[in-house]
C-alpha cells in the first residue's frame, strides 16, 4: 500500500481499504466474463487465435461496452511470470493474453494452439482502430510514455484512422507515485469516458495498473501496449516484413537498443524458452496420449 505524505494513519488505512476493494471489484468483474480459448505456455496461458480474431473480440467488446483486460505477452512476460506470482495472477485474470512475441506463438502452437499466431501490440491497436468508423468513432485514452512521444503518437493514430478520437493523454512521471497522484490520474481517465484505454508502462507495471484500476472504467477495453507509442510516434521502426514473418523482429530491436535489451533477451528470455519448451512438449504428449486412450476406450465400449 502507498502511504501519501500528510495523511493520518487512519486516513491512509481507509485509502488502502478502498484501493483493495476497488481491486477486488475489478477482478470480480473480469472473472465473470467468458474467456476466449487459451492454451498453457509455462506459467501463463495464450490466446488460441490470430490478429483478426483478437481484434474482432476487442471491437465487439468496445461496441457492447463489455470491458476487457488484454495483455500482449512476449518471452519477457513468461520469464517474469515464472518468478512473479502477482504478474502471473494478473495475466491469469486477463480476458485475453495474445502472443506478442514469436517464441510465445511457437510455444502456444507446440502446446496445441493450432490457431495461435503472433499478435503484437502495435498490430492489435491498428487492427482495432481500422474497425472503427467516423459514424461510430472509438474514443481512445493514452496512459504512459513520455509526453512528446505520446502526443505525437496520438496525432498519428488520428491521422491514420478517421474513426479514432484520442480523448485524453496522460504521461505519469518516471518515479514512484503517491496514492493521491494515481487516483487523480485514474479519475481523469474515467472523466474522459474512453472506449479503449492503452496503458504503456511496460511489464509488469501496466498489467498491475490495469488490474488495480479496471473498475474505474469497467465497460472499456484496457490493453497493455508496452512501447507501442514509440512506433506510432516514429521513434522506433518495425523490422522489415521478411524478418517479422520469420519471427526475427527481435534482431532489429536488439540492434536499435542493445544496452537495454541484450540482457533481457540473452540472460532472461532465452533460458526461459529453453526451460519452458520441453515442459510444453511433454504436456502436449501427455494430452495426446490421454486423447488416444479416451478414443480407444470409447471405441471398445461402442463395440
List pLDDT tens digits, range 75-109. 999 999 999 999 999 999 999 999 999 999 999 99
Alpha helix positions (H), 84-199? 85-92, 102-110, 121-130, 147-160, 179-192
Q: Is 266 exposed, middle or buried (0-12, 13-18, 19+ CB in 10 A)?
A: exposed
Helix (H, G, I), strand (E, B) or coil at 196: strand
Q: What is the pLDDT at residue 10? A: 36
Mean pLDDT over the full length of the chain = 83
What is the reported pLDDT for 178?
95
- For the residues 144-173, what does the mean pLDDT come to? 97
Q: Where are the domains of the chain?
A: 18-302
Cβ(255)–Cβ(238) below 8 Å: no
Phi (first) and psi of residue 165, to 5 degrees: -125, 115
The pLDDT value recorded for residue 1 is 29
pLDDT for 3 beyond 90? no
* Cell, residue 93: 485474470
pTM of the model: 0.79
Identify which has the larger pLDDT, 276 or 175. Answer: 175
CA angle (217 as vertex; 213, 221 as ends), nearest 5: 95
Distance between CA 84 and CA 44 in Å, rounded?
Answer: 11
pLDDT score at 15: 42
Amino acid at each position: 500500500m502507498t502511504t501519501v505524505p500528510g495523511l493520518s494513519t487512519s486516513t491512509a488505512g481507509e485509502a488502502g481499504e478502498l484501493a483493495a476493494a476497488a481491486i477486488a471489484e475489478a477482478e470480480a468483474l473480469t472473472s465473470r466474463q467468458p474467456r476466449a480459448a487459451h492454451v498453457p505456455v509455462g506459467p501463463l496461458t495464450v490466446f488460441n487465435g490470430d490478429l483478426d480474431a483478437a481484434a474482432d473480440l476487442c471491437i465487439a467488446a468496445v461496441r457492447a461496452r463489455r470491458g476487457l483486460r488484454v495483455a500482449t505477452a512476449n518471452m519477457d512476460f513468461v520469464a517474469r511470470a515464472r518468478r512473479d506470482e502477482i504478474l502471473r495472477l494478473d495475466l491469469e485474470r486477463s480476458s485475453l493474453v495474445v502472443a506478442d512475441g514469436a517464441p510465445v506463438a511457437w510455444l502456444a502452437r507446440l502446446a496445441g494452439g493450432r490457431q495461435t499466431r503472433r499478435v503484437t501490440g502495435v498490430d492489435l491497436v491498428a487492427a482495432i482502430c481500422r474497425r472503427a468508423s467516423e459514424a461510430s468513432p472509438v474514443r481512445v485514452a493514452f496512459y504512459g510514455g513520455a509526453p512528446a512521444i505520446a502526443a505525437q503518437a496520438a496525432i498519428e493514430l488520428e491521422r491514420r484512422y478517421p474513426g479514432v478520437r484520442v480523448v485524453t493523454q496522460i504521461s505519469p512521471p518516471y518515479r514512484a507515485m503517491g496514492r493521491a497522484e494515481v487516483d487523480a490520474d485514474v479519475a481523469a481517465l474515467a472523466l474522459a469516458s474512453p472506449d479503449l484505454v492503452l496503458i504503456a508502462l511496460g511489464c509488469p507495471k501496466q498489467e498491475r495498473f490495469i488490474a488495480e484500476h479496471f473498475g474505474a472504467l469497467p465497460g472499456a477495453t484496457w490493453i497493455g501496449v508496452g512501447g507501442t507509442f514509440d512506433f506510432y510516434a516514429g521513434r522506433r521502426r518495425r523490422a522489415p516484413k521478411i524478418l517479422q514473418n520469420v519471427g526475427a523482429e527481435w534482431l532489429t530491436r536488439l540492434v536499435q537498443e542493445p544496452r537495454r535489451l541484450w540482457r533481457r533477451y540473452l540472460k532472461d528470455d532465452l533460458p526461459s524458452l529453453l526451460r519452458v519448451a520441453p515442459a510444453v512438449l511433454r504436456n502436449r504428449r501427455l494430452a495426446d496420449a490421454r486423447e488416444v486412450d479416451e478414443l480407444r476406450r470409447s471405441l471398445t465400449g461402442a463395440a
